Chain A
Amino acid sequence: MKQVRILFLLLFFSFGINSYGVVYESVYIKCDSLTTVDAVKLPYYTFSPTDSFVQQNHRVELMVGDTLDLWVHNTDSIDHYFDIQGTTGVRDTIPANDSIHVVHQFTTPGVFIYYDPLKFPVYAYMGLSGMLLVKDHNHASFYWNTKEHDSTFNYTLASGGSVLWNQYNPKYFTINGISHPNIMNNPVINIAGNVGDTLVLYISNTGYGMRSIHFHGYHGEIMFSSSKPATVGRVKDTFPIYPMEAVMIQIVPDKPGVYPVHEHNLVAVTGNNFYPNGMFTLMNIQP
């Protein structure tokens, strides 16, 4: 009888693993402040996971075939929009202090940016741009939502003013809302694993500038790009990521070691003109 019960449980879990599911999520458009590496506060928005402001956007994760059942709550006093890159029919307006309900099935793996297209790139730049992952694997994964921040722009845009993007001069560079050295012990950002593991790094560039991310110690393979599909399959140590592009990079370490993974535009490894207070992380590979 006990054996029958175990068999039933195995069948139940097997069914649960293989079948497509529905992932229920809620995000809240919240306006508050981004606290920089040197404790400066900048006006900032995020899609927070609860009705309290969080400095990084909520990360939404699904498996291929899953259906996303998402409520987007606009707690701001102005109307916002909502869209998910790579989808059609999702884009919608969210009136002030109102909500929308998004239901969408994802049938291909990848990493997609969900964002507010209002006055693009204004509100995406002001923080309303996060990552949505559709996985077809269970490998150890790490997630970088990268942005840069020009204090003057944040204050001007927050007060309803306009800016000249050709004069954009950001001084802060963040991954998931934080910079070096605050990044260093973050397990979502710093890659860790063992020799021979398949490790996956998801990176989105939701800032206005370009990224050029360099891996020490290992080459990685581009498995997905949301806007440059021709680059898939390239094996590289330095990965350019265009604005509003999201990529998936796979690394299989062949040796142990602790190595940096960082921006190679070294201006982006500064924070308010202090090096290395920008996009500088570590990868820790054990034997």
Chain B
Amino acid sequence: MKRQLQILVTLIILSASVNAQVVNEFLVAKTDLNPQYSLWDGKLTKLMGYTRLLSAPINLPAPTLTFTEGDSIHLDLRNMSQNAPHTIHLHGLDVDQQNDGVPSLSWQVYHSQTGTYKFQAPHPGTYIYHCHVTTAIHLQGGMYGMIIVKPLSGNNVTWDGGYSYDKEYAWMLSELDSVWHQDSLFNHNYDTLNPMMPVEVPDYNPQYFLINGKSEQQLSDTSIRINAQANSTVYLRLAAIGYCGNRIIFPSALNAQVVSTDGRPLPATINLDTLELFPGERYGVLLKPTTEFTDSILVQYKNMNNHQYKSTQKVPVDIDGFVGIEENILDMDVQVFPNPNNGELNILADGFQLGILELTILNLWGQSIKNLEVMKEDGTPIPLDLKDLNKGIYFIKLEQNNQSKTIKTIIN
């Protein structure tokens, strides 16, 4: 019995060690020689930043670093910026002083040198990394990115024993003041023997309000816009790293639920439509839409001192039908007319072969409420009588030979 227990413990330890391991990461610290980063209005700006390759352009934010709970990480930083030294502060990971990235208390990486940060990732959650040298300038310059620590038990769960989800998004909220993105600031004075030497900075009046480095029409980027199925769960990681406060306004139909902050579970989850977060904070939010809809999440940026809102960014939200519809023929041409209708409608199903079609009528929650078999004849619409259904939104799923297409209809 004792031996069996020993074997079990050994297996558990080995199992854990398969997932948690020594991970090597590499980043280059750089400064743009010329403006290259494209803002929403077409203007280009210079950045300071981190890249994985020397040849790669600096992006906002810097590459997301993803680890697994329990990993031992060796993070190499190569400084090729020509200017002041750089560091990596592992914001929220509670590393030891030596690896905390504060130049006056640990060490700094000078031009053409490489330093290695060694740390553990003990708690699943969302974290930030950024330079802590003359931080006000280097952070605004672009030297920040997100760290995601996944739980040992798998990818699609918030933490072991936590909440499972189907899809996740990560938004890093920041701003950009183009006045700060000048050589005069990027090449600031620096005394390596006195890293806390005062350095003059301009007033902060950002013109660009960013989510993952993008704003305005750029927010339709598929890595930012929320696209999910009704009755699925989305995990939205939020990290604020600008100098403004943020207010996030969720459509109520997303059923937003805050479950974690700063890499730790909340003592009690909170259902809300509006969430405020402030510089350095992170939150984990579950989105649980139950109906199909199109809307926007509003992300507002406010001055921390006078509380005036400077910008509202709109992130598109597209919630599709329901979970479980795998379209094998995405370009199949299927139409319903009239739509809306009184329950008498016609279906044109040109993409399907002539013969029997199986139809399933589903309600908004994806529940099957009616099954039919109809005959598709050449060039002829298929008439359908659904007058026995209550007024509302329905989905008609057409299936034939393991291929399917789902269309929406409104009976009123």
Contact = CB atoms under 8 A, between A and B. Distances in A.
7 contacts: A209-B307, A235-B264, A238-B278, A259-B105, A264-B280, A266-B135, A266-B279
B138 to A, nearest CB: 10
Contacts of B267: 233-234
Given A234-B267, A238-B262, 10 more contacts: A209-B305, A210-B304, A216-B89, A217-B95, A237-B91, A240-B277, A265-B279, A273-B201, A275-B201, A276-B135
Contacts of A265: 243, 245, 278-279, 304
B136 A270 contact: yes
Contacts, number: 139
Given A214-B91, A274-B199, A257 B262 contact: no
A133 interface: no
B105 A260 contact: yes
A262 to B, nearest CB: 9
B94 A217 contact: yes
User: Interface majority SS on B: helix, strand, loop or mixed?
Assistant: loop
Name the residue among B200, B305, B306 with the largest chain A CB count within 10 angstroms: B305
A40 interface: no
A275 B305 contact: no
B319 interface: no
A203 interface: no
B247 to A, nearest CB: 12
A148 B96 CA distance: 32
B281 A165 contact: no
A167 interface: yes
A71 interface: no
B306 A238 contact: no
Q: How large is the interface on B (under 10, 10 to 19, 20 to 34, 35 or more residues)?
A: 35 or more
A212 B280 contact: yes
Contacts of A170: 305
Interface in A181-225: 181, 208-210, 212, 214, 216-219
A276 B245 contact: no
A269 interface: yes
A270 B262 contact: no
Contacts of B270: 230
Contacts of B281: 212, 236, 238, 240
Contacts of B266: 234
B262 A266 contact: no
A258 interface: yes
A268 B306 contact: no
B139 A165 contact: no
A270 B204 CA distance: 11
Contact of B280 (A214, A217, A267): A214
B264 A236 contact: yes
A240 B278 contact: yes
A13 interface: no
B97 A259 contact: yes
A138 B198 CA distance: 38
Contact of A169 (B95, B96, B100, B203): B203
A274 B282 CA distance: 28
B196 interface: yes
Contacts of B135: 266, 269, 275-276
Name the residue among B196, B280, B308 with the largest chain A CB count within 10 angstroms: B280
A277 B280 contact: no
A255 interface: yes
B331 to A, nearest CB: 48
Interface in B254-307: 261-264, 266-268, 270, 276-282, 304-307
B136 A266 contact: yes
A166 interface: yes
A168 interface: yes
B102 interface: yes
B137 interface: yes
B102 A273 contact: no
B304 A277 contact: no
B200 A274 contact: yes
B57 interface: no
B134 interface: yes
Contacts of A240: 245, 276-278, 281
A181 B305 CA distance: 22
A181 B266 CA distance: 35
A216 B200 CA distance: 24
Contacts of A167: 306
A277 B267 CA distance: 36
Contacts of A235: 262, 264
Contacts of B278: 210, 212, 238, 240, 264-265
B340 interface: no
Contacts of A181: 196
B136 A216 contact: no
A240 B262 CA distance: 12
B196 A212 contact: no
A255 B99 CA distance: 13
B203 A275 contact: no
Contact of A168 (B198, B201, B263, B306): B306
Given A169-B203, A234-B261, A264-B279, A212 B305 contact: no
B305 A273 contact: no
B261 A209 contact: no
A276 B277 CA distance: 23
Nearest to B245: A210
A270 B203 CA distance: 10
Interface in B121-139: 134-137, 139
A257 B280 contact: no
Interface string A64-104: 00000000000000000000000000000000000000000
B161 interface: no
Contacts of B282: 238
Contacts of B100: 216-217, 257, 259
Interface in A234-287: 234-238, 240, 255-260, 263-271, 273-277
